[in-house]
Amino acid sequence: MLQDEQTLRRTVAKNIAAYRKSHKDTQLDLARKLNYSDKSVSKWERGEGLPDVYILAQIAQLYGVTVSNLIGEEEPPKKANPHFHIYVLLLSVALVFVIAAILFTAFTIAAVPFPSWLFFLYAVPVSSIVCIVFTSLWWGILMQGLSITALIWSAGACIYLSIPIPIPNLSLIFVVCAAVQVLITLWELFRFSRTRTWF
C-alpha cells in the first residue's frame, strides 16, 4: 500500500509539473491561482505530498484536463514550441498585408478614383484583430492588451483618414480612442489582479 502511495505521488508530481510548464506557469503562478503557497506546489512536484481532491479538480480545470489525467500514467503533453506560435502569427499578419498589396495594385492599375494606399492602413486594424485572436489562444494579458491597443488607435486613424470631406472637430475621434484605451487598460489591470501574471 505504501508503494502504491509513493507511485501515485510520483505520478501526480510529474503530471502537475508537466501541465504547469506546458501552460508557461511558474510554481508561483500556479500557487497564486490556487490561493496556495509556492512551497506547497513545490512539495507536490517533488512527490512529498498530495493535493486534496478539491485542489486536483481546480488544477485540472485550470489546465483543461481531467483529474484522471493528473493521477493517471498517461503521458502529459510536452511543452509547445513557442517559435511555432510566432511563425503562425507572423504568417497570418503577412497574409493580411499581401491582400492589401493586391488590392492596392489592382485599384492603381484600374485607375479607380480611390486613395488605394489606404488599403495598407486598413491592414493594420485587421492585423490587430488577427493578433488579438492568436494572443488570446497562446499568450497572456500583456500581449493581448498590446494587440487591442493597436486595434483601437489604428481603427481611429482609419476613420480619420478615410472620410474625404472636411468635418469640423473630426480629430476628436482620438479622444474617443483615448477613453476606450483607458477602459481597456483598467480591464487588463483587473485581469492581472486576478491571475497575477502578464504572460
The predicted pLDDT at position 121 comes to 96
Q: What is the mean pLDDT of residues 84-96?
A: 93
Do residue 188 and residue 91 come from a single domain? yes
pLDDT digits (tens, 9 = 90+) for 12-44: 999 999 888 888 888 888 888 888 888 889 999
Query: Is residue 72 exposed (0-12), middle (13-18) or buried (19+ Cβ within 10 Å)?
Result: middle
Based on its alpha-carbon atoms, the radius of gyration of the chain, rounded to whole angstroms, reads 24
pLDDT digits (tens, 9 = 90+) for 51-68: 988 899 999 888 888 888
What is the pLDDT at residue 198?
Answer: 65
Domain boundary among 45, 71, 97: 71
- Asked whether residue 22 is assigned to any structural domain, the reply reads yes
pLDDT above 90 for 84: no
Using CA atoms, how far residue 120 sits from 68, 110, 137, in Å, is 50, 18, 26
Q: What is the pLDDT of residues 102-154, one digit of tens each?
A: 999 999 999 999 999 999 999 999 999 999 999 988 888 889 999 999 999 99
pTM beyond 0.75, yes or no: no
Instruction: Count structural domains, the chain.
Output: 2
> 147-192, pLDDT tens digit by residue?
999 999 999 999 999 998 888 899 999 999 999 999 999 998 988 8
Are 163 and 91 part of one and the same domain?
Answer: yes
Domain that holds residue 66: 2-71
Report how far residue 189's alpha carbon sits from residue 199's, in angstroms, rounded to the nearest whole number. Answer: 13
3 state DSSP class of 137:
helix
Q: Give the separation between CA 179 and CA 199, rounded to whole angstroms.
A: 25
Query: Do residues 29 and 92 both lie within one domain?
Result: no
Inside any domain, residue 76: no
The dihedral built from the CA positions of residue 162, 163, 169 and 174, taken in this order, carries a sign that is: negative
* Domain match, 44 and 133 both: no
Spatial CA neighbour of 82 closest among 134, 9, 148, 129: 134
Q: Answer with the one of 40, 71, 102 that is the final residue of a domain.
A: 71
Residue 145: predicted pLDDT: 92
pLDDT band at residue 1 using 50, 70 and 90 as cut-offs: very low
Determine the Cα–Cα distance for residues 170 and 58; give it in Å rounded to an integer.
50
Output the CA torsion sign for 91, 95, 101, 106.
Answer: positive
Cell digits of residue 14: 510529474
Cα–Cα distance for residue pair 47/132, rounded to 1 Å: 39
